[in-house]
Amino acid sequence: MTYQEKVTDIYSMIGQGQLMEAFDKYYSENVVMVEPMGSREGKVACREYEQKFLQSVKVFHGLDVKAIGSNEEAKTSFVESMMDITFQDGNRVKMEQVAVQRWEGDQIVEERFYYENA
């Protein structure tokens, strides 16, 4: 399976409400996740962050994947996406971002998110 196929599978799973299943399947124990608001290291810390995010969501209205690409030789993939979410506080947001993944084998070891400050 190519990196592009793997990241396509991840976002297909997310669109079906299986974010944590995708995380468990595709992220390394030593993953580093970086975004404008800070970074996290290790699967345990990253998993806790993702679970907190899911708990903050009241309604998931949808996911629109605008572009997916990869450089198979460099073991890198990217996704441009938009999530439409209503949070527990009633605030509805369309979150647009680009995520770049660096892979080792079948697992993501680093993921960097690019978006305007939330």
**Which residue type, as a one-letter code, is found at position 61?**
H
Considering the entire predicted model, what is its pTM? 0.91
Domains and CATH numbers, the chain: 3-114 (3.10.450.50)
Q: Is the pLDDT of residue 108 over 60?
A: yes
pLDDT tens for 51-63 read: 999 999 999 999 9
Whole-Å CA distances, 115 to 55, 73, 74, 95, 102: 21, 26, 23, 8, 18
Q: Is the pLDDT of residue 117 over 90?
A: no
Instruction: Pick the closest to residue 65 from 9, 3, 109 (CA basis).
Output: 9
